[in-house]
Amino acid sequence: MAMNLRLRDDQQEALKRRAEEEGRSMHAIVLQAVDDYLARTAHQVAIQQTAREQAAKWRELMERLK
């Protein structure tokens, strides 16, 4: 899928500098950033789901211990 990414001028310049420093394309860096974000947020969602499940599982006991 093709898409346009509009960056602020300062973002574009910083990305261009980083790409040159790393010997990578700006495109490759953006793809890696998207992959990193998706992996990080997937992990956070899994943690939140587990926390909700455990809270529901132990709710009755926690109420009795108050």
Domain boundaries defined on the chain: 10-65
pTM listed for this prediction: 0.65
pLDDT beyond 90 at 65: no
Q: Give the burial string for 38-62 (b: 16+ CB within 10 Å, else e).
A: eeeeeeeeeeeeeeeeeeeeeeeee
Residues 6+ apart with CB under 8 A from 22: 29
The DSSP-derived string for 21-46 is HHT--HHHHHHHHHHHHHHHHHHHHH
CA 8/CA 48 separation, integer angstroms: 33
Q: Looking at per-residue confidence, does 62 or 58 come out higher?
A: 58
